[in-house]
Amino acid sequence: MDMQMNLSAEAISVEQRWCAHNYKPLPVVIDRAEGVWMWDVEGTRYLDMMSAYSAVNLGHGHPRILRAMIEQASRVAVISRAFHSEKLGPFLRRLCALSGLDGACPMNTGAEAVETAIKAARRWGYKVKGIPADQAEILVAEGNFHGRTSTIVGFSSEAAYRDGFGPFAPGFRIIPYGDADAMEAAIGPNTAAILVEPIQGEAGIVVPPEGYLRRLREICDRRNVLLILDEIQSGLGRTGKWFAFQHEGIVPDGLCLGKALGGGVMPVSAFVARQDLIDMFVPGNHGSTFGGNPLAAAVGLEALETLDEEGLVARSAELGDHMMRRLSAIDSPAIRAVRGRGLWVGVEIDPAFATARAVCEALMQRGVLSKETHDTVIRFAPPLVISREELDWAIDRFAETLAAMRA
């Protein structure tokens, strides 16, 4: 037993010695995973209630994704955008059809999709709206999380994300989230775009008031401002719709996607937009060596087709309602709030009871893995392939954990 336990300790020790300490993982070393389950190096099984921040919406090692990945990698994987590939067009065509938009710029990571959106919005502001050179402004929301690049953290309202990384790029203003009137009041002649998450993930699964996106859509139409939504976490079935904006019956001007687009096996992202916005990119003014490579396109297309053909968006809606009801019914002084949509729920823990980190560590001991955010919220976002029985098992373990910690 001591020898087995040393496997985890050794792996953690080596990682801590050689890896930058920019994360604080739970003390578990994952060795393999399948579907909604993961096993550590000692062979202990855990249910994944995190889905790698929605990157594993299809579950771990989905056979269709692995097959598409292997078949494409065996033919050609990376050629850069210097040449055409057979898979890229069909992939982006499907993405545009699903989102109701006109064109897309393929990238790799979510942050790259957001950076692409920022560049497109600014260029549109100058070329189309007529904003004076270098004066374009983008309005963002308090509590936002759009990535970790120096530009993006520069307009974060979280001090820890900014500390020691300035000076930051100008051209952004932070407006309270969920307040459409405040957003409109902040619009000026140089405002090119509003950039928001339909539901704020890293902030703690914060759902805005009903009608918020509809109001933003109306404001942007009336004031000639772009509406750009970051659905890197909320998109592709997570909230019970293909995209969270569909809950309010609107279509944005630009859409940032990533995470689940890679089928749980590789980074794939895209900025999808209406035609005049996507046309802001011409040869030489934007690019990515790996963005849109044949392997990424094949995996992305298969991910979209699998979500569709296996009915996983509807499953997220049905099981999400069930998860919300069950979590809301837990009678515990630890719980201050339960909020979310689809298979994406945040449970806010009373700091007087315990830290969210402590709850996650105790939950790990009962075979369920998740992660805290902002010290007070536990995220529950299982792969969309989860069964009702597996979901109930995880929720039962959570209720048991809170009861045991209280005792």
Catalytic residues: 145, 230, 259
**Helices vs. strands in the chain: H and E counts, helices first:** 14, 15
Residue with tokens 């955010």: 373
Asked if residue 167 has a cis previous peptide bond (ω within 30° of 0), the answer is: yes
Asked if residue 109 lies in contact with residue 267, where contact means CB atoms within 8 angstroms, the answer is yes
Six token digits for residue 144:
């936002």
Asked if residue 363 lies in contact with residue 370, where contact means CB atoms within 8 angstroms, the answer is yes
Q: Is the dihedral of CA 91, 97, 98, 99 positive or negative?
A: positive
For residue 45, what are the β-bridge partners? Answer: 39
| Residue 376 CA to its chain's centroid (Å) | 19
CA dihedral 89, 95, 98, 102 (to 10 degrees): -70
Q: Is the dihedral of CA 20, 59, 103, 344 positive or negative?
A: negative
Asked if residue 402 lies in contact with residue 332, where contact means CB atoms within 8 angstroms, the answer is yes
Task: List all residues 6 or more positions away from 20 whose beta carbon is below 8 Å from its beta carbon.
Answer: none
